[in-house]
Amino acid sequence: MKRRMLVLVCLLALAPQAWAQQSPAGEGKDNIAGPYVPTPWEIVHEMLKLADVGKDDLLYDLGSGDGRLVITAAKRHGARGMGVELQPQLVEAAIAGAEKEGVGDRVKFVAADLFETQLGGASVVTLYLLPRFVTRLVPKLRAELAPGARIVSHDYPLAPWTPDKTLSFEVAEKEAISGSTRTTLYYYVVPARVAGTWTLAIPRTLSSTPVVLRITQAPDALDGTAEIGGESLSMRDIVVRADAIRFWLFHRGRFMQFQGRVSANEMSGEVRAQKVVERWTGRLSAAPRQEPAVR
């Protein structure tokens, strides 16, 4: 217990670069200002590698400090980048660093509150923030980013959202920052928004009436029911990853396996029942509820 308290004191006293960053609306920015500590280079490279950053990406770094992650993404991976940082002097240093490294035309740095920054254009988001800010960001990230966008969070998960991957490793330089050499990166892929009521058209060989899906979706849960000809069924093994969806229905003694793609208010794909493979389409027929806010 004493060791845990000591680690906590170290974390607060030697705040990493993003900890001096944004505050939610209603909280004074000065209340969370702290010393700037750069992210170790080894961690920078592992974050970019985990996100599989490439030349077609636009990366947003939330709490960008001296800009090293954004600059490296542009210089080594060919990406475009945006750094969001609260402290103007760090923004100035990042701009100068980008020019020195020859990527000033591919990156941009702004002094802004990340909770007020629109993220919709980003294909990759990286962050290193205090846990309470990471948690508060979850609804914003899921609402504003397009399906398939990737997120890498350094040391703190986007609770209660379950990560798609985690990567843990030791970094000696980290001990001076947090009291431990242990580093964990949490990787997420933004799922399509599928909450709501959907009306599916499937071949008459499988059903003479439309299939009505009612899906609920939250960062930590995905569930749904189906109605076919007045019969209520459970949607089984629902998975949504990026814009891909798959699930099972058991109707009239046989399994129907659905897989397809979601695009805004429509979805379509193939349904397999025993040896029969047919096409299906679906349309959102009732507006989805917003994902619950994380407090």
CA distance 108 to 19: 20
Pick the CATH number of 196-286 from 1.10.540.10, 3.40.50.720, 3.40.630.30, 2.40.128.20: 2.40.128.20
Beta-sheet pairing, 80-85 with 58-62: parallel
Domain with CATH 2.40.128.20 in the chain: 196-286
Name residues whose C-beta falls within 8 Å of residue 188's C-beta, 6 or more positions apart in sequence. Answer: 141, 150, 151, 152, 153, 158, 161, 163, 164
CB 241 within 8 A of CB 259: no
CA distance 262 to 239: 12
pTM of the model: 0.85
Distance of CA 165 to the CA centre of its chain: 12
Domain with CATH 3.40.50.150 in the chain: 2-189
What number is the average pLDDT over the span 65-89?
96
Q: Which two tokens stand for residue 42?
A: 């080894």
Domain 2-189 has what CATH class? alpha beta
Q: How do residues 145-190 score in pLDDT, each as one tens digit?
A: 999 999 999 999 999 999 999 999 999 998 888 888 999 999 999 9
| Residue 149 burial by Cβ neighbours in a 10 Å radius (0-12, 13-18, 19+) | buried
Q: How do residues 21-58 score in pLDDT, each as one tens digit?
A: 433 333 444 344 445 668 899 999 999 999 999 999 99
